[in-house]
Amino acid sequence: MAEAAQSTLTAPDATALEIFQNQWEIYRKFLQHDYLSNGEACVALHRFLTDGVGRPYRFLDLACGDASGIVTALRATPIEHYRGVDLSAPALALAKRNLAALPCRVDLEEADFSTALRNLPALEDIVWISLSLHHLDSAAKRTFMREVRAAIAANGAFLIYEPTRRDGEDRPAYLDRFEDIGRRDWCELTAAEFAEAIKHVRTCDLPETVSGWEELGRDAGFASMSELYRSPTDLFRLFLYRP
Ligand SMILES: C[S@@+](CC[C@H](N)C(=O)[O-])C[C@H]1O[C@@H](n2cnc3c(N)ncnc32)[C@H](O)[C@@H]1O
């Protein structure tokens, strides 16, 4: 059962909606052809949930989008509650349909992920964010991760799948590498779609280095960070933080 909470459309909401309207079709192509390796990342997440958790758990999916990929990771695991948060109402409408495949209660909330952790009714076991946290600058990431740490149960976990720079790689070098890989591999995008995707990445993306993600986790109060998956392009990594 999925319930979508509504909120008034504020300026950031309008931006998210605009991004959804202009770029969702392009993002669908990235998912369809697995250009961002979301599929393999979800396989790694599924493995963690079955081998590393293996007990009934509550799952909070921040910036869940249409939840099309996450459903495969969560199906056939002992999930007892799924809560998804996204600023885009159309994405949540698609998520509601996709999440009907889960055998648990589903709640969807139209809200900003960076503030959604305030006033949680209960501690979460697993908090997940994918391809969204990198839009915050380092200070905002730190503040957000502190709130995640406070919202997680003692034996819980925080997992992120995000663009990640190699240690020693600066942002311009990462963006050039991103564009080179895209030009080589993403053959199903039109020239206009490729240009739009690269414009978005060059304008909005603020990937941390591996050491940077580790330091943010330490600053936020997490005891450890480990890498569960690295995309073949080495553009994206899946990290597990433990309290
Ligand atoms: C690239 S998609 C990622 C979706 C999904 N997590 C995945 O990995 O496929 C980014 C999503 O973040 C949402 N979004 C962007 N900024 C947000 C914010 N501040 N709060 C909540 N959702 C946001 C967008 O509406 C979109 O659905």
Ligand 1 binding pocket, CB closer than 6 Å: 16, 20, 27, 38, 63-65, 69, 85-88, 91, 112-114, 130-132
Which secondary-structure segment (H or E) carries 126? strand 124-130
Q: Whose CA is nearest to atom 2 of ligand 1?
A: 65
Q: Whose CA is nearest to atom 13 of ligand 1?
A: 63
Which of helix, strand or coil describes residue 227?
A: strand
Residue from 106, 89, 126, 114 nearest 2 by CA:
106
**Distance between CA atoms of residues 147 and 62, nearest Å:** 13
User: How far is ligand 1, taken at its centre, from the CA of residue 112, in Å?
Assistant: 9
Atom of ligand 1 nearest to the CA of 69: 9
User: How far is ligand 1, taken at its centre, from the CA of residue 168, in Å?
Assistant: 28
**Distance between CA atoms of residues 180 and 157, nearest Å:** 34
pLDDT, tens digit, 9 for 90 and up, residues 162-183: 999 999 999 999 999 999 999 9
User: How far is ligand 1, taken at its centre, from the CA of residue 86, in Å?
Assistant: 6
Do the Cβ atoms of 243 and 149 come closer than 8 Å? yes
pLDDT, tens digit, 9 for 90 and up, residues 179-206: 999 999 999 999 999 999 999 999 999 9
Q: Whose CA is nearest to atom 19 of ligand 1?
A: 112
pLDDT, tens digit, 9 for 90 and up, residues 48-81: 999 999 899 999 999 999 999 999 999 999 999 9
Total residues belonging to the chain: 243
User: What is the gyration radius of the CA atoms in the chain, in angstroms?
Assistant: 17
Token look-up 């030009």 returns 183
Beta-sheet strands, E only, within 6-78:
57-62
Instruction: Name all domains of the chain by residue range, CATH numbers in brackets.
Output: 2-13+36-81+90-156+209-242 (3.40.50.150)
Residue 241 amino acid letter: Y
Residue 105: other Cβ atoms inside 10 A: 14
**Distance between CA atoms of residues 199 and 133, nearest Å:** 18
Atom of ligand 1 nearest to the CA of 17: 25
CA dihedral sign of residues 217, 218, 224, 230:
positive
Q: Which tokens go with 85? A: 């948060």
Q: How many helices (H) and strands (E) does the chain have?
A: 8, 9
Do the Cβ atoms of 113 and 85 come closer than 8 Å? yes
Atom of ligand 1 nearest to the CA of 64: 6
pLDDT, tens digit, 9 for 90 and up, residues 90-125: 899 999 999 999 999 999 999 999 889 987 888 999
Do the Cβ atoms of 108 and 95 come closer than 8 Å? yes
Q: Whose CA is nearest to atom 15 of ligand 1?
A: 16
Give the pLDDT of residue 9.
Answer: 36
User: How far is ligand 1, taken at its centre, from the CA of residue 113, in Å?
Assistant: 8
Residue 132 amino acid letter: S
Alpha helix (H) ranges present in 100-235? 138-151, 171-185, 191-204, 210-220
pTM here is: 0.92
